[in-house]
Amino acid sequence: MTVLKNDIFIKALLKQPIKRTPVWMMRQAGRYLPEYRKIREQAGSFLNLCTNPELACEVTMQPLRRFNFDAAILFSDILTIPDAMGLGLYFTEGEGPKFKHPIKTAADIKKLPIPDPTSELRYVIDAVRLIRNTLQGSVPLIGFSGSPWTLATYMVEGGSSKSFQKIKGLMYEQPKQLHVMLDKLAQSVAAYLNAQIEAGAQAIMLFDTWGGMLTSEDYIEFSLYYAKQVRNLLKTDIDGQQIPTILFTKGGGLWLESMIDAGYDALGLDWQTDIEKARARVGNIVALQGNMDPVALYAQPEIIIEKVKTILQKYGTGSGHVFNLGHGILPDINPDHVKAMVNAVHEFSPMYHN
């Protein structure tokens, strides 16, 4: 494997000294880029794009050609695992992801397989390998998965949800069944992420998009417990290189103290969480990633620059901060505004590092 030319993202996650704050963006390969929309149109569907390693590699690389990002992230969907479990993922225009065979009974849970990622999710693993080779060590590659809880919400609801009535119904009425399901998901997620690591992923992020819809005790029992189980099953290094890990629970700002117990190197912060206070609460133990309001990218560049400066100042001096948005970039953002954000991190962060 080639030597990593820019490793500040890895070092920031491990709280090792660096010269400036690294920056990347959730959904950085996506619809806000005209070159992405072109490939997406050629692919015919979002799923075709995800399942074709060459196209997935191409869209992963696109934002790196435009912006000085310090990491690439695998282009994929968070619902690849349930699809490999046989639930039949499909997308309807404007309604988001759906499953043909959502989980309805204990028998459905019992027969859920733990997919072998090297065969049943081979298109993802092939994409990781191709992207890693294509990057040629320019920046590290982030592998990712949805968290067991977040995957379970889609699998039981049959798609996106507002109230999460079905999954919470299962949680209240048949908690043991839900635990069986989450345990299988944790094993599946860990195997999937380990296969990504073996294929070349140099850091791992777990997206717990819907953990924040739970009460604090339900979060700990049904989401965080399985995020920790995933972490415990992950390879911690490969070829002597440590693989840092990030846990992001949207809406989880209240629970940061609990989250550090899951053993991840860094916690992702949504924009509602004050990063200065977050660092005071947990920042001596974990690194922090975030957390500009994605809507702020609609503002004029001079305002974006001020927002970047505020976040850098709030985190303060020393390593342990990865600049990012507090959620994925919105699809109609002007790419020039992204450039303003990235350049501002490059320009104004060195003063916080010795």
Catalytic site positions: 27, 31, 40, 77, 154
CB of 164 to its own copies, least distance (A): 6
**Of 243 and 247, which has the nearer Cβ to its own copies?**
247
Closer residue to its own copies, CB minimum distance, 192 or 271: 271
Helix H, strand E, coil C: the string for the chain is CCCCCCCHHHHHHCCCCCCCCCECCCCCCCCCCHHHHHHHHHHCCHHHHHHCHHHHHHHHHHHHHHCCCCCEECCCCCCHHHHHHHHCEEEECCCEEEECCCCCCHHHHHCCCCCCHHHHCHHHHHHHHHHHHHHCCCCCEEEEEECHHHHHHHHHHCECCCCCHHHHHHHHHCHHHHHHHHHHHHHHHHHHHHHHHHHCCCEEEEEECCHHHCCHHHHHHHHHHHHHHHHHHCCCEECCEECCEEEEECCCHHHHHHHHHHCCCEEECCCCCCHHHHHHHHCCCCEEEEEECHHHHHCCHHHHHHHHHHHHHHHCCCCCEEEEECCCCCCCCCHHHHHHHHHHHHHHCHHHCC
Nearest distance in Å: CB 349, its own copies: 19
What is the rounded CA–CA span in Å between residue 214 and residue 207? Answer: 15
d(CA 283, CA 314): 12
Strands of 287-292's sheet in order across: 72-73, 141-146, 203-208, 245-249, 266-268, 287-292, 321-325
- When the beta carbons of 189 and 275 are compared against its own copies, the nearer one is 275
Least distance in Å: CB of 246 to its own copies? 20
User: Which residue, 124 or 256, is less far from its own copies as judged by CB?
Assistant: 256
In the complex, least distance from residue 165 CB atom to its own copies, rounded to whole angstroms: 6
Footprint on this chain of its own copies (rule: CB under 8 A): 163-165, 168-169, 172-173, 212-219, 251, 253-254, 271-274, 277, 293-296, 298-300, 303, 310, 330
Q: How far is the CB of 163 from its own copies (least distance, A)?
A: 6
Nearest to 143 by CA among 94, 191, 84, 213: 191
Kindly tell me which of 265 and 270 has the beta carbon lying closer to its own copies: 270
- Distance between CA atoms of residues 259 and 248, nearest Å: 9
Pick the closer one to its own copies by CB: 314 or 339.
Answer: 314
* Shortest reach from residue 254's CB to its own copies, in Å: 5
From 150, 153, 48, 50, select the one nearest 102 (Cα to Cα): 153
Nearer to its own copies, 185 or 304 (CB): 304
- Least distance CB 170 / its own copies (angstroms): 10
